[in-house]
């Protein structure tokens, strides 16, 4: 994923996985909705590009964090739907805890001046 | 568990490759269609909506390749990357490298050394044809019913008993007797003792050996009253004494001051059927009275100096062989009972039962009994030491900071597994050094 107004190398690695897991944790959805949802919820700050999204989805699936099933989409097309597995939920908790620690630390440093 | 799961899914991915490809195509086509629809809704013409969606998508081939990679095992490149990383790290920490290499070298070396001993004493099969068919024949209980002279390293039977076994057995395709004795091959009054073997006529043929030169001993060489007919020398003896000269065949070798014709050379690598022992010359059993002073040993019913081995007929098990040997025991021992035995020994002699014992790794004359258990214990211990050595190396590696930091923060992140747009440390030498990401590096095995 990339931030539209920043160099891509300034994004903390691994956050895309966490964002995907979080997004899917709310409901089962297909890749397109996942990307749309992240963009919408982040108010257009985070834009997930396909080149990052699908490799990430497949990687998470192989690692057992996401389950998938083929279903029919709202506009009547065959689509692959992803769900969070129990394992994925645990991973998400771990990631989220680690993330909030880092984010909190950064915030404290930035506010200290 | 989780690692296994991922490994399994990757394996499945290998098998169902085409299905995965199809799914990936469908998934991306769906995504494109959705995006196109959104563009149209936003007011673009169908054509430009299509083009815009495509453009946003970037390289479909690259994308598919990256998604596919999730399903495959790490490519050669990522192995190579790991290897380069390892070499770089080892070069930067020479102390650690030397200690680790020494630990592993010692651990592995000790194991290899002990295993060689164990292999020789316990595991290695004889260098003969189908060693698994070979069995040794001797009394079930060798401690009772035996009296008289005992000579050689494996005094299991007397010559008269050997004749009984040879003539009465029905379970072997071939059977032979052998005994060990030192023989003097010195000339001109000089003594030069070598390892000698008494062998019955079937020895080489039952073992299925082929001569390195000349011919091997045959049943015809081993007839009672044979005189000083023939001797076969070992390959090692041929090398040491004659420099592998083929002209030695037909020449006489002086054994115990009697000239005996060398008829051939045993194959290289064949050291007899005794563990840890070798032989230099093999002479027929029948030559014993002539080569040694005739003490009546050959026909003495109380002189134990030979061991017997047989090759099981195809389809005959060792248990069946034992059963037949047992059933013929009474007659065999009755026919050979020495008159001089005390009554109770005589009774025990008559009641002796012959049995077949596995001999595919050779016959032991003490070595195996003495060293087998200690060697297994040693082997276990050195194995344990190696495990400890590995554990020590692993711990010192994971506690050595560079091991963790560079690989986890940079090496892995630039590997193809990670986000297409994430940090690429190796090219820009800029590492993200905050937090503990990634919490779990992806091991190449899953």
- Tens of pLDDT, residue by residue over B12-21, are 777 777 888 8
B299 touches chain A (CB under 8 A): no
Q: Does B112 touch chain A if contact means CB atoms closer than 8 Å?
A: no
In this structure, the strands spanning B258-265 and B213-214 are antiparallel
3-state helix, strand, coil in chain B (%, to 5): 50, 15, 35
Summarize the confidence of residues B310-326 as an average pLDDT. Answer: 93
The helix-helix angle for A15-26 and A31-41 (nearest 10°) equals 100
Please indicate whether residue A5 or residue B323 has the higher confidence score (pLDDT).
B323
Distance of CA A34 to the CA centre of its chain: 8
Q: B438 and A14 in contact by Cβ < 8 A?
A: yes
pLDDT at position B437, please?
39
Average per-residue pLDDT for chain A = 83
Distance CA B348, CA A99 (A): 86
Q: Is B445 on the interface with A (CB under 8 A)?
A: no
Residues of chain B found within 8 Å of residue A19, distances taken between Cβ atoms: none
Asked if residue A10 has pLDDT above 60, the reply is no
C-beta atoms of A78 and B30 within 8 A: yes
What part of B 39-98 touches A (C-beta under 8 Å)? 56-59, 62-64, 66-71
Q: Which of B62-66, B248-252, B307-311, B378-382 has the lowest mean pLDDT?
A: B62-66
Alpha-carbon torsion angle B277, B278, B284, B289, nearest 10: -60
For B375-384, letters b (16+ CB in 10 Å) and e give beebbeebee
Interface contact B420, partner A, CB < 8 A: yes
Per CB-CB distance under 8 Å, the chain B contacts of A55 are 63, 66-67, 69-70, 419-420
Peptide bond into B402 cis (omega under 30): no
Smallest Cβ distance to A11: which of B9, B13, B422?
B422
pLDDT exceeds cutoff 60 at A93: yes
The pLDDT assigned to B440 comes to: 41
Q: Can you say whether the dihedral through the CA atoms of B235, B240, B246, B251 is positive or negative?
A: negative
Contact assessment for residue B318 and residue B172, using Cβ atoms and an 8 Å cutoff: no
Q: Which of B191, B193, B199, B230 is nearest to B305 (CA)?
A: B199
At residue B186, does pLDDT exceed 80? yes
pLDDT greater than 90 at residue B199: yes
Do B67 and A55 lie within an 8 Å CB cutoff?
yes
The shortest C-alpha distance from B3 to chain A (Å) reads 8
Q: What is the pLDDT of residues B85-139, one digit of tens each?
A: 888 888 888 888 888 888 889 888 888 988 888 888 777 778 788 888 999 999 9
Chain B residue with CA closest to A82: the answer is B27
**Nearest neighbour of B419 by CB, restricted to A56, A78, A106:** A56
ipTM: 0.80
Contacts with B418 from chain A: Cβ below 8 Å: 13-14
The arithmetic mean of pLDDT across residues B215-220, rounded, is: 91
Q: Sorting pLDDT into bands at 50, 70 and 90, what band is B400?
A: low
Asked whether residue B373 carries a pLDDT value surpassing 80, the answer given is yes
The encoded tokens of residue B274 equal: 């005794």
Residues of A in contact with B70 (CB under 8 A): 55, 58-59, 61-62
Contact B438 A13 (CB under 8 A): yes
Comparing CB atoms, the residue among B417, B423, B439 nearest residue A98 is: B439
Confidence of residue B75 (pLDDT cuts 50, 70, 90): low
Phi, psi of B173 (to 5 degrees): -75, -20
Out of B64, B66, B435, name the one closest to residue A98 (CB).
B435
Please answer yes or no on whether A55 and B63 come within 8 Å at the CB atom: yes
pLDDT at A13: 62
Full-model pTM: 0.56
Query: What SS3 state is found at A105?
Result: helix
Average pLDDT along chain B: 81
By C-alpha distance, the chain B residue nearest A64 is: B6
Q: Are B421 and A50 inside 8 Å of each other by CB?
A: no
Instruction: Map residue B40 onto helix, strand or coil.
Output: helix
Q: Cβ atoms within 10 A of the Cβ of B417, count?
A: 21
| List of chain A residues whose C-beta atoms are within 8 Å of the C-beta of residue B439 | 94-95, 98
The C-alpha atoms of residue A57 and residue B58 are separated, in whole angstroms, by: 18
Q: Name the residue among B233, B217, B244 with its Cα closest to residue B271.
A: B233
């Amino acid at each position: 994923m990339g931030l539209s107004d920043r160099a891509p190398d300034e994004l903390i690695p691994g956050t895309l996985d966490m964002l995907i897991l979080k997004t899917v944790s709310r409901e089962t959805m297909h890749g397109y909705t996942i990307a749309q949802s992240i963009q919408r919820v982040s108010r257009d700050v985070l834009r997930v590009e396909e080149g990052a999204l699908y490799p990430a989805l497949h990687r998470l699936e192989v690692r057992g964090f996401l389950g998938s099933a083929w279903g029919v989409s709202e506009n009547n097309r065959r689509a692959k739907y992803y769900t969070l597995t129990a394992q994925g939920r645990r991973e998400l908790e771990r990631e989220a805890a680690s993330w909030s620690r880092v984010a909190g630390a950064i915030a404290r440093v930035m506010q200290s001046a | 568990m989780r690692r296994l799961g991922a490994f399994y899914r990757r394996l499945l991915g290998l098998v169902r490759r085409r299905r995965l490809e199809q799914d990936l195509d469908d998934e991306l086509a769906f995504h494109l269609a959705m995006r196109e629809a959104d563009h149209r809704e936003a007011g673009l013409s169908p054509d430009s909506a299509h083009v815009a969606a495509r453009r946003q998508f970037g390289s479909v081939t690259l994308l598919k390749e990256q998604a596919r990679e999730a399903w495959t095992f790490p490519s050669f490149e990522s192995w190579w990357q790991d290897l380069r990383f390892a070499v770089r790290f080892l070069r930067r920490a020479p102390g650690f490298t030397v200690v680790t290499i020494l630990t592993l070298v010692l651990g592995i070396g000790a194991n290899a050394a002990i295993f060689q001993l164990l292999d020789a004493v316990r595991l290695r099969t004889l260098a003969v044809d189908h060693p698994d068919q070979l069995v040794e024949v001797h009394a079930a209980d060798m401690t009772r019913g035996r009296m008289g002279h005992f000579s050689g390293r494996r005094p299991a039977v007397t010559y008269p008993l050997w004749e009984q076994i040879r003539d009465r057995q029905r379970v072997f395709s071939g059977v032979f007797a052998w005994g060990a004795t030192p023989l003097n091959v010195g000339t001109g009054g000089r003594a030069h003792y070598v390892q000698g073997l008494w062998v019955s006529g079937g020895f080489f043929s039952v073992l299925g050996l082929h001569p390195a030169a000349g011919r091997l001993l045959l049943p015809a060489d081993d007839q009672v009253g044979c005189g000083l007919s023939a001797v076969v020398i070992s390959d090692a003896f041929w090398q040491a004494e004659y420099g592998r000269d083929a002209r030695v065949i037909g020449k006489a070798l002086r054994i115990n001051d009697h000239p005996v014709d060398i008829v051939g050379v045993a194959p290289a690598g064949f050291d007899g059927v005794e563990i840890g022992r070798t032989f230099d010359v093999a002479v027929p059993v029948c030559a014993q009275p002539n080569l040694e002073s005739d003490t009546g040993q050959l026909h003495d019913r109380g002189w134990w100096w030979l061991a017997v081995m047989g090759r099981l007929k195809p389809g005959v098990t060792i248990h069946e062989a034992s059963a037949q040997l047992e059933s013929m025991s009474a007659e065999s021992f009755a026919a050979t009972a020495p008159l001089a035995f005390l009554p109770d020994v005589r009774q025990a002699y008559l009641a002796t039962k012959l049995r077949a014992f596995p001999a595919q790794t050779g016959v032991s004359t003490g070595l195996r009994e003495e060293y087998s258990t200690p060697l297994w214990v040693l082997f276990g211990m050195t194995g344990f030491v190696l495990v400890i050595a590995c554990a020590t190396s692993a711990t010192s590696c994971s506690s050595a900071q560079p091991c963790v930091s560079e690989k986890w923060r940079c090496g892995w992140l630039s590997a193809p597994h990670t986000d297409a747009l994430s940090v690429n440390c190796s090219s820009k030498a800029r590492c993200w050094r905050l937090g503990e990401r990634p919490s779990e590096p992806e091991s190449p095995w899953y």
